[in-house]
Amino acid sequence: MLVQKLDRLTLDSNLADLPSHDFQVSLTTLGKVVAKKFQQQLELPGVIITTNSQLIGMISRNQFFEWLSRPYESGPHGLEIYLRNPIQSMWSAIADFEGIIDRKTFLQKYLVLSVTCSIDKAVELALQRSDSMAYEPIILKGLNGQWRLLDMRVLVLAQSQLFALAKTTADAANRAKSQFLANMSHELRTPLNAILGFTQVMVRDSSLSTEQQQYLSIINLSGKHLLELINDILQMSKIEAGRSTLKNNSFDLYCFLDNLKQMLQLKAVTKGLQLIFECSSDVPQYVQADEGKLREILINLLGNAIKFTEEGSVTLRVRLGSKERWRNRKTRGRGDVETRRCGNPGDINNSQFPIPNSQTIIHFEVEDTGPGVAPEEMDKLFTAFGQTETGCKSRQGTGLGLAISQTIVQLMGGKINVTSIPKRGTTFTFEIQVTLAQATEIKASQENPKVIGLAPNQPEYRILVVDDCSKSRLFLLKLLKSIGFSVHEAENGQEAIEIWSTYSPHLILMDIRMPVMNGYQATKEIKAKEREMERWGAGELGRWGDGEMGSWGAGEAGGDKGASIQNSIPNSQFPIPNSQFPILKQPTTNTIIIALTASVFEEERTAVLSAGCDDFMSKPFREEVLWEKIAQHLGVRYLYEDLAVKKKDEAIQGNLINSADRSLDFYLSNMPKEWLENLNQAALKCLDHEIIQLVEQIPEVHSPLANSLRDWADNFLFDQVIELIQRAQVTA
């Protein structure tokens, strides 16, 4: 009798939930009765022999038919012995053959389990049996003393079913967790930035008492810790959900190391530490790998080393990965820092002539002279949220950085190893596989000319900005109007639909997450209305194509009715004087909608496109990306800043200063005072997107400053931006 089908199993199921059988006989039951039962029920795995509810023995189906077919040198055939006689005769022969002399030896041979035993535990115990018993049924003891038999094949199938069920459940849980974390990170980041910004502004107020200053400092530190925790958890969740993938690109490894050193140099100097970069002469300059993830790993390892080291040095060594010892290291540059200057291939000792597209291993080693890690705490290093005693005392970090770095290195085909001597320092090493590249594969950092306006002889392009955040709307309104676009705004999807129906914008910049009506719903409704209008125009209005309607598009109706029919033709050549914006009887039917989202998940791109959006931009975005998207979809032509004059001025300035001796302080001191004040305010308010926008205004000649500020903003290191500004002011 079947207890329950396998497709009804849950993760909490046990042996009681599996199909089992209760075919029981006594020692006096004839063998032919058992044989007939086996013939009638082919799924029966065996027979249980009991007396007064006491278990005597068990004969499996395989054993039964094997003993029936056994020939003997003397005496009758097994069929005649075991079919005509009681089942006791066969059980006695089996017990004698297997050496079963009492109940204890029987239980050692056969597996007897309670029906409450878990399925996984039952499989584990079954696999511990001898090979001869591998496929024998399992005897189940019910709570009411009832004995049953469980087929081993059913048990294996049940475990497979649970594996599939567990995977489905885990995938669903990961999706739910990722969605929850994405929503929470989006909602928490804005208020947290405000908290951090205003506490830093208030702490500089000299009128506050010492106690108030202390309270503000606690709030500020706690806010920073929470913001870091949110971002680390989000990164870990992406890795766990399998959403973190490699994006390989060709890049200049020497330039990469130079920029990395520039970014971390100030933090090291502030603590009085030496930051040493050593690179072996045989390391290839041009490689193909995931540049962003490699930067994240090294920033984490070097940042931790600087954080926990109070005196001495932090050293990064880079060499080809091999079993050979580290030797023939050459140091170049100033002091004890070896660097390979970006863009100077003439300095490369490239005697090996690496073959492009071939693969090699690069070894990275980060060594510090910090407090070290005790042997008993080594296991905590790569555990999520695990922190050593030193980490706990510092009250810095979330305990996720090394766990994330280890997972990324594993994704890149390597593993992070660590050695440490307490009170002397710690060394982290890892190797990754890269593909050799050529200089021609490296995308040159082409400077985009600055857009200063719209080219003449173009229609007036109307753009609708939809965002519930007033600051985001204000930024886009000012930016778009400064170029010459006609712009209107809406603070939610419902308002956007109302304005669209009268304003008839050529393009909508649609925020996705908004109250009242979100961007998904608004986009779907606008696109649905446009399809309805197209069907209406093709049917009812089709017969007017060369008559009345044609005259509307070309004559007296001008930008009024003509705009509703001329789908792809800019319709604002005929503006209505003294109106806030043209009042159109019908909106256009080809509105371009570009989605704006602060989500970190790439899957949202698919979602917004499926909702009907024509394109996608992630916040914060660069100004050049916005102009490019608008030009791509509307065919807009721009006026650009005169690059020839700009490059000439920069060349003159570049000749006056030796680039090798430049520092971030110098670059910052050459920026306009107004720009510097805006940067300081953005850092104090922890507005990373405003810092990114300001970075885009930095001239190419000051690229090290731009790279450092961009990296700090991406990693929410606002304190480093503030320290750099203060340092530059003191130097000045």
pLDDT over 70 (residue 446): no
pTM, two decimals, is 0.42
- Higher-pLDDT residue of 55 and 189 is 55
Distance CA 219, CA 318 (A): 40
pLDDT digits (tens, 9 = 90+) for 270-282: 788 899 999 988 8
Buried b (16+ CB within 10 A) or exposed e, 424-438: ebbbbbbbbebbbbe
Considering the chain, what is the average pLDDT of its residues?
75
| Mean local confidence (pLDDT), 315-338 | 54
Answer with the residue of higher pLDDT: 669 or 245: 669
Helices (H) and strands (E) in the chain, counts: 25, 20
Q: What is the pLDDT of residue 131?
A: 80
User: Is residue 690 predicted with pLDDT exceeding 80?
Assistant: yes
In the chain, where are the structural domains located? 6-150, 180-240, 249-441, 452-640, 647-731
Q: How confident is the model at residue 562, as a pLDDT?
A: 36
Across 580-584, 673-677, 722-726, least confident range: 580-584
Tens-digit pLDDT profile for residues 459-501 = 999 999 999 888 778 878 888 988 899 999 999 999 999 999 9
Residue 687 has pLDDT above 50, yes or no: yes
What is the side-by-side strand order in the sheet with 462-466? 486-490, 462-466, 507-511, 592-597, 615-618
Is the pLDDT at 372 greater than 80? The verdict is yes
Distance (Å, whole) CA 32 – CA 84: 6
The 10s digit of each residue's pLDDT in 374-404 is 777 777 776 655 555 555 444 454 456 787 7
Angstrom distance (rounded) from CA 581 to CA 67: 97
Phi and psi at 513, nearest 5°, equal -100, 110
In this prediction, residue 588 has a pLDDT band, given cuts at 50, 70 and 90, of low
According to CATH, the superfamily of the domain at 6-150 is: CBS-domain (3.10.580.10)
The C-alpha atoms of residue 277 and residue 334 are separated, in whole angstroms, by 11
Q: How far is CA 362 from the centre of its chain?
A: 25
Q: What is the pLDDT of residues 549-566, one digit of tens each?
A: 333 333 333 333 333 333
Q: Is CATH 3.90.1010.10 the classification given to domain 452-640? A: no
Question: Tokens representing 605?
Answer: 């791109």
**569 has a pLDDT exceeding 70:** no
Tokens standing for residue 234: 């989000």
Q: Which of 57-71, 84-98, 198-212 has the lowest mean pLDDT?
A: 198-212
What size, in residues, is the chain? 732
Query: How far is 217 from 208, CA to CA, in rounded Å?
Result: 12
Collapse the DSSP code of 694 into the 3-class scheme (helix H, G, I; strand E, B; otherwise coil) and give the result: helix
Query: What fold, for 249-441?
Result: Heat Shock Protein 90 (3.30.565)
Q: What is the pLDDT of residue 278?
A: 92
Tokens 């023995």 identify what position?
Answer: 57
Determine the Cα–Cα distance for residues 420 and 370; give it in Å rounded to an integer.
10
Nearest alpha-carbon partner for 126 in 86, 153, 145? 153
pLDDT tens track for 119-150: 888 888 888 888 878 788 999 987 777 898 98
pLDDT of residue 353: 45
pLDDT in tens, 168-223: 877 777 677 666 766 666 666 656 655 665 665 566 566 878 778 777 776 766 67
Q: Residues 6 or more apart from 589 whose CB is under 8 A from it?
A: 530, 533, 534, 537, 567
DSSP 700: G
b/e map of 367-385 (b: 16 or more CB within 10 Å)? bbbbbbbeeebeebbbebe
Q: Would you state the pLDDT for residue 2?
A: 44
What is the pLDDT at residue 488?
94
Residue type, 378: M
pLDDT, tens digit, for every residue of 719-728? 788 878 877 7
Is the predicted pLDDT of residue 65 greater than 70, yes or no?
yes
pLDDT at 606 over 90: no
